Amino acid sequence: MARPVLMFDSLSCCEGCGLQVINCETDLLPILAAADIGRFREASDGDVPHYNVAFVEGSIVTSHDIEKIQEIRAKTDILVALGACATHGGVNMLKNFQDPDDVARYVYGERRAWVPHIPARPQKAEVKVDAEIPGCPLNPAEFLEAATCLLMGKPFRLPNYPVCVDCKLADNVCLWHKGVPCLGIVTRAGCKPYLCPSAGHKCIGCRGLVDKPNTQAAKDVMAEFGLTVQDVLREFRLFQGIYDEVSKEA
């Protein structure tokens, strides 16, 4: 088999996921030995006409982003969305719950007319995405696992269970039992060893929901905990504005 050509690029985001890939450091060497890098916006110059696998971070917040992701899609065999912005719209989705003119004014200021801003959306809203690695930022271990699967020609699967599983296995005392509402109960696992609750911080849901979350139970438990619907939506909208349950007005 010919050496696969990889590319890394970014739409609207902080490019933290690209940095996380670079942070894999020596772990990247076997990948570099097995594949060529056709383009890597965060790390080098240059481009090639065709890629086998494109890893693209960032969400779509302007019509320029749509053009860019369509161009990449046309040039690549496989498109992998990297990180929360790419997979779920990320924190950029927060603007969808605010007045668009206000957002344009405080984000782009005087030159807001120059920017063709549109409601934020994940990459899969515009093009076919073949695999997703969620998280803000992505977990380097999971990126390496996905890369290994690609090199082996084996399907890459995300864990389909909530953060609670890994949190309990880390022997953490549940944050709910310390009076802190934590979104780990419905958020997809896969962040270990970077579990926020292990550092005493609640899960803020950056990896999106598990496939079949019990949203009814989540509402009940949060209500019993004394949280209002507005509180709950605020918690969820940080990263999960993409879901119907969260985006609907209360």
Partner 1 sequence: MLPLVLNKSDLGAWIEALAAQRRVAAPVLKETSPADRTDLKFGWEYIADPAEVRLDYTVTVLGPKKFLWPARQTVMSYQIGADPRPTAVLDHEPHVLFGVHPCDVTAIQTLDAAFSKDIADPHYLARRADTAIVSIDCAAPCDETCFCLDMGSLYPEAGYDVMLTPEGNRFFVEVKTPLGEALVEKAKVRPATKQDMQARQKFAEEKRGNFHFQLPFEVKYLPEILDASYDSLVWEAIARRCFACGSCNTTCPTCYCWDVDDDVAVDLTKGCRVRRYDSCQLDPFAEVAGGENFRKDRSSRLRHRMFRKGKYILDQTGRSGCVGCGRCERACVADISIKETFIQIAGSR
Binding residues vs partner 1 (CB under 8 A): 27, 30-31, 33-34, 144, 147-148, 151-152, 160-162, 164-165, 168-169, 171-174, 176-179, 184-186, 210-214, 216-218, 220-221
For residue 55 the two structure tokens come to: 């890893």
Max Cα–Cα distance, the chain, nearest Å = 59
User: Which residue, 128 or 212, is less far from partner 1 as judged by CB?
Assistant: 212
Give min distance, CB of 157 to partner 1, in A: 9
The backbone torsions φ and ψ at residue 4, rounded to the nearest 5 degrees and listed phi first, read -65, 150
User: Which residue, 113 or 152, is less far from partner 1 as judged by CB?
Assistant: 152
User: Which residue, 24 or 104, is less far from partner 1 as judged by CB?
Assistant: 24
**Which residue has 């019509």 as its token pair?**
63
Give min distance, CB of 164 to partner 1, in A: 4
Give min distance, CB of 250 to partner 1, in A: 21
**Which residue has 């020609």 as its token pair?**
153
Give min distance, CB of 109 to partner 1, in A: 43
Show Cβ contacts of residue 133 under 8 Å, excluding neighbours closer than 6 positions: 80, 81, 82, 83, 87, 139, 142, 143, 146, 158
Rounded to whole angstroms, the Cα distance separating 212 from 227 reads: 23
User: Which residue, 7 or 182, is less far from partner 1 as judged by CB?
Assistant: 182
